[in-house]
A and B are shown apart, each in its own frame.
Chain A
Amino acid sequence: MNFEFVIEGSKLIIQDSKFKIQNLKKLVMKNIRKYIVTLVLFVTGFLTFAQAESFESIAFRAMQDEMNRNMSDLKLDRLKSPYYLSYLITDAHLFSVEAQLGALVRTLDRPLRNQETSVLVGSHQRNNLNFINENKLFGWYGGSFSIPMTLENNYDAVRRSLWVETDVQYKEAAELIEAKFAAMNQQNIPEDERNLADFSSIPSLNKIVPSQQITFDKAKIEKLTKDLSAVFSNFPHLTKSGVNTYIFTADALYLNNEAIKYKVPFSLVCIRVYAEAVAIDGEPLMDYINFYFTTPDQIPTLEILKPQVNQMATLLTQLRTAPAIQESYSGPVMFEGEAVGEIVSQCFVDNPNGLLAARKPIVSNPVLLQRYGQFLPKENKLEQLTDKKVITRELSVAAVHGQKTYNGMPLIGYYEVDAQGVVPASKTVLIEDGVLRALLTDRTPTMKNGSSNGHRCFAISDGSLTGTLGSGILELTATETMSYEALKEALIAAAKEEDYEYAYIVRKMANPMAGVPGLSAFVPSNAGTFGVSRPVYIYRISVADGTEELVRSAKIADLSLKSFKRIVGVADTQEVYNTLQRGKQGGYSTWRSRFALVGSPASFIVPKAIVFQELEVEKDKDIVLKRETVVPSPLLSGK
């Protein structure tokens, strides 16, 4: 902000916050007559206020003032006023570097501020949520313009951004609730559904956590990224490879009209390493590692990271010549290491009938259900099994939020307060000894889960924070465990029992949210139905001598949450699996910010290995094989 005034003919321009108010006072005392002093002190007083005010203070002031006037005066003729209003402002810094074979591909380094507004009309019992009509389904709501959030600490500018979005959201809400009432009046909605509230109440909150002072050496990060990507230069059979380092740091500032106010820091660091190859028969292959940290200072040295990347590249190179499985198998299968975390993530969380609570929305028109049913939100059928056994009694699942690390590993799914301002309990039991007790919830009540247990998790989308129903930190524990070696023996014994000469061990399942090239060949595309991804690394273990053989082209045909009902055993050590999760809302974007780190951070504390009694492993016949290249790779030339 520039201020300008004239003292006895000389021009003094105050241009930035570095200007010392004390200096100004001295200058004033030296050069002006007494009668001007009053004026100058007034100006300096104002400057002190203007320059000292932080973005946090300005943002909350703007949110409060905009909220007050909208709650009091925002109303369309004959339509209801809003009864609920919330603002979430993200004050972020985005940094990313991409390198391939030691060469820099691109960098991104920019601040970004954004806001998300929610307006509800009606009451918690009945509002504009949980309703789908044609306009909502096809995305016809929304305004024709928005005002981007200022990068300056400017009160008016913050309010302008909030003003436009509040108007847009209110008009949508006001129209939707009328349409919802109209639909409900013409449909014979069952009593229990009719009585189910649309939004739950939560305790008030005032939590201000100081911003993290995160600094990092950008040149050092760039060098690390380039050096790490150079590892692939020694692997000429890999057709594509690269390393992306993302550093996202932000403050989330939230205010609603129910006395919920918070400011929490949020940061996530990811080193994403990826490579692709083609098997000798033309099968497209890929592998990746996503190293996650919560702050840049946790990034290990090149010497620590390099061997892991080297190992990944070596294994992917070996996979090229591994045999493709031919015959189908229906018997015991062990999941090990990160494969356990991934199947728990997919079966328990990213599953329409997993642990994320979901309710059936009121639909304006039955035609929508008939024609577009696969795109509509659906009730989570698992909820109907509350207090029933849903997995083996040896296993329990809980959401745990008491710790930021586990055995020294950062838990990226940790948060103190969720995106709606709910503080999660340190432990929420979801499945107890195999029996479903509760689902993960936010403020949208479902038939058997009426209140939020604090799982409107933060997610990164387009360089900003949003909220999605997610899992945060989930722990899967077993009452009966055995050593890894004993578990492997149990796997072999179970396979023998089924008359197989071998069993399968899955060491890596493709993560649909890995954000790497080549992933689509490993992820099912059947919209609206559940199916797990394909294994990246699967081994055949001989029942005769325990030798292992890496194989490929496999898919697990029938793995689901139900599969956890019949398990042979569980390893006695627990490991951490960090990932970005889609969550219930999903739909992340990168187009505006060009920041490709998206999703909701989640952590899984899971056994090192699990053996399932019976799963079907079969050749994936949907793989499109590539022809041999006409030209050899330039990395192979001369080799």
Chain B
Amino acid sequence: MAACFVLTGAYAQTAQQDELLKILKNEIDRGMAFYQKADIPVYLISYRVDEVETYNISTSFGTLTNSTPSKERTLTIQVRVGDKELDNYRELRDDASAWINPRSTRITLPLDNDPKAIALALWEATETEYRNAASRYEKVKANVAVKVEAEDKSPDYTSITPVQYYEKPIKMSDFKFDIPAWETRLKNYSAQFADNKDILDGESTFTFRVERKYFVSSEGTSIAQNNTSTRVFLSVMAQADDGMELPLHQSYFAHIPQDLPDDKTMMKDAQEVANVVVAMKTAPVVDPYAGPAIMSNDAAGVFFHEIFGHRIEGSRLKKETDGQTFKKKVGEVVLNKDLSVILDPTITTYKGIPINGSYKYDDEGVKGEKVVVIDKGVLKNFLMTRTPIDNFPKSNGHARAQAGFQPVSRQSNLIVETEKPYTDAQLREMLIEEAKKQDKEYGYLFARVTGGFTVTGRFMPNSFNVTPLEVYRVFVDGRPDELVRGVDLVGTPLAMFSQVEAAGDTHGNFAGMCGAESGSVPAGCCSPALFVKQIEMQKKDKSQNRPPIMERP
């Protein structure tokens, strides 16, 4: 990670010399002088600029398919009219406009810090945003008058103390990053996939992203912060004779390329995913099941992210359409008393593992805070933005968004901690004992997952789905574990949460990209393995296509 600086002395001077910050501030100041006197006055304007430099490399079965740099600046504007009690961002209840209006407005700004060019783009986009804001504000007022009283009585926005924070600019060329060497490495990994004809698709990709985020608001906040991330993805796909597609991935995350695992590790992993996916082709298909299971530390992270993480996002809990699973459970025991759940954007590694949901300031210009959401089983807090909910009036720096999207509460680095760590062997024993108790021939081990999704609304059943990639049967009679395929892990949050019995002693990391209302944001999930007394599995949707007729050349 690049060095960061606090705003003192010489650094304050540096911030003042930052051309883009200057242009953003000038245009906000110039605009506010007019917008504050408009028919419907503006009370806040913020400009967020995501300057992202990326290098992507892709290979397929040992040959290069892409090796391309890109750099772009994207502007996201927030214009708030009315006042903090009631403004244009309030939920419009029973309103169809959400189905028509785009969720994001991507405005590309020049890369050169040309005051005229950038100011013109800012002005034009702000005018459009102001008209949208003023129009929506009128609709909000009518909506409030027409609809029943809202359940949540909190205001629409909260005050903060403006922040000034500055890091020196960084660029991709500041980092030691050998493109030909990475191309060769990636080709070598995917070349291994060519050895087995059962592997239909075998790719490896590398992405290095250098991000500089600017945030300037009419309240006086001025932030320029950097972030870097790099990923390598090994992915293979086979297809069973019944049509089931069998994807398998191995991914790596680090903040800079040098911190990624070494070549030997990746080569070994590439071979392993190749071996597993080929074995999966002939693995038995699982029938729906309810019973005990172990989730590996990778899988457990996703499990928590889906069943719990999305239900503690404050913005969501304000919506009248949301299931609000945990909103009224603060102070209650909601999870095994040995477990705590923490969301922490302030750390870049956890127990030496690089994690990807890190930032210093969120997308509303609020410092990211460590939030203990569950403390030894008891629900304590939610992930808050500047949009409060009843009893949670303050932001804890979890307003996040993809460039072009308006921020809402999103997860940062989700960390599950346990007071009583168990070894893998102990968890396995628990699984076998429980399976015996339930009169099962076997329990399940979820070794690797690819992600999942959850439904938090009220209209549809409030449920989740975690998508396993690698699942094993663990037999109570001591037979070797059996690789199986064709299942999804499903359930409803409260029921499932109550079944978590124990956690392991080693943390895994799922460095994922989480997609929701405010677009796709990096989210880390660090959890130990979990033993769950009762899980539910349903058949996985599968392709009806036959495998390719001809053998892969």
Query: Which residues in A have some Cβ–Cβ distance to B below 8 Å?
Result: 65-66, 69-70, 73-76, 99-108, 110, 143-145, 147-152, 154, 156-157, 159-160, 163-164, 166-167, 170-171, 233, 239-240, 594, 626-627, 629-635, 637
Contacts and interface: CB of A to CB of B under 8 A. Distances in A.
A100 B125 CA distance: 15
A144 B543 contact: yes
Contacts of B127: 629-631
Interface stretch (B27-35, B206-214, B319-327, B366-374): B27-35
Nearest to A106: B72
A65 B550 CA distance: 13
Contact of B552 (A75, A102, A160, A631): A160
A469 B256 CA distance: 49
B553 A170 contact: no
Contacts of A74: 549-550
B120 A145 contact: no
A630 B130 contact: yes
Most chain A beta-carbon contacts within 10 A, residue among B110, B119, B122, B543: B110
Interface in B103-153: 108-114, 116-124, 126-127, 130-131
A630 B34 contact: yes
Contacts of A632: 34
Contact of B116 (A104, A164, A233): A233
A124 B113 CA distance: 60
Nearest to B109: A105
A435 B38 CA distance: 62
Contacts of A634: 27, 30, 116, 119-120, 122-123
A630 B131 CA distance: 9
Given A103-B111, A634-B116, 5 more contacts: A101-B116, A103-B113, A105-B108, A105-B111, A634-B119
19 contacts: A65-B553, A69-B550, A73-B549, A100-B110, A101-B110, A103-B112, A106-B72, A144-B543, A148-B65, A151-B65, A152-B63, A154-B62, A156-B553, A163-B548, A166-B550, A594-B70, A630-B130, A631-B30, A634-B120
A220 B67 CA distance: 24
Contacts of B72: 106
Contacts, number: 140
Nearest to B110: A103
Contacts of A631: 30-31, 34-35, 123, 126-127
A156 B190 CA distance: 14
A167 B114 contact: no
B245 interface: yes
Nearest to A637: B30
Q: Which of A148, A171, A626, A637 has the most CB of B within 10 A?
A: A148
Contact of B64 (A70, A151, A171, A630): A151
Interface string B536-553: 000000010110111011
Contact of B123 (A99, A106, A154, A633): A633
A160 B60 contact: yes
A147 B235 CA distance: 12
B16 interface: no
Given A110-B68, A144-B245, A631-B127, A160 B117 contact: no
Nearest to B548: A167
A16 to B, nearest CB: 10
B60 A147 contact: yes
Contacts of B61: 147, 156-157, 160
Nearest to B39: A630
B237 interface: yes
A152 B62 CA distance: 10
A175 to B, nearest CB: 11
Q: Which of A100, A143, A149 has the most chain B CB atoms inside 10 A of its CB?
A: A100
B196 interface: no
Q: 8 closest A-B pairs (Cβ-Cβ)?
A: A103-B114, A103-B110, A101-B117, A103-B112, A103-B117, A159-B553, A634-B119, A150-B63
B200 to A, nearest CB: 7
Interface string B40-64: 0000000000000000001011111
B328 to A, nearest CB: 43
A420 to B, nearest CB: 25
A163 B60 contact: no
Interface in B479-517: none
A179 B418 CA distance: 59
A103 B108 CA distance: 12
Contacts of B121: 100, 240
A150 B183 CA distance: 13
B64 A152 contact: yes
B124 A239 contact: yes
Nearest to B553: A159
A286 to B, nearest CB: 13
B120 A633 contact: yes
Contact of A171 (B70, B130, B194, B546): B546
Contacts of A630: 34-35, 38, 127, 130
B269 interface: no
B66 interface: yes
Contacts of A100: 110, 117, 120-121
Nearest to A626: B131
A358 to B, nearest CB: 31
Contact of A240 (B58, B62, B70, B120): B120
Contact of B63 (A107, A151, A240): A151
B543 A108 contact: no
A287 B194 CA distance: 52
Contact of B65 (A65, A149, A163): A149
Nearest to A73: B550
Interface in B276-310: none
B458 interface: no
B201 interface: yes
Given A104-B110, A147-B201, A630-B35, A163 B552 contact: yes
Nearest to B40: A630
Nearest to A141: B545
Nearest to B122: A634
A104 B120 CA distance: 14
Contacts of A170: 549
B71 interface: yes
B484 to A, nearest CB: 21
Given A108-B70, A634-B123, A102 B114 contact: yes
Nearest to A107: B71
A10 to B, nearest CB: 22
Nearest to A240: B124
B116 A157 contact: no
B546 A76 contact: yes
A143 B545 contact: yes
A240 B71 CA distance: 21
B241 to A, nearest CB: 14
A569 B546 CA distance: 63
Nearest to A155: B553
Contacts of B35: 630-631
Contacts of A239: 120, 124
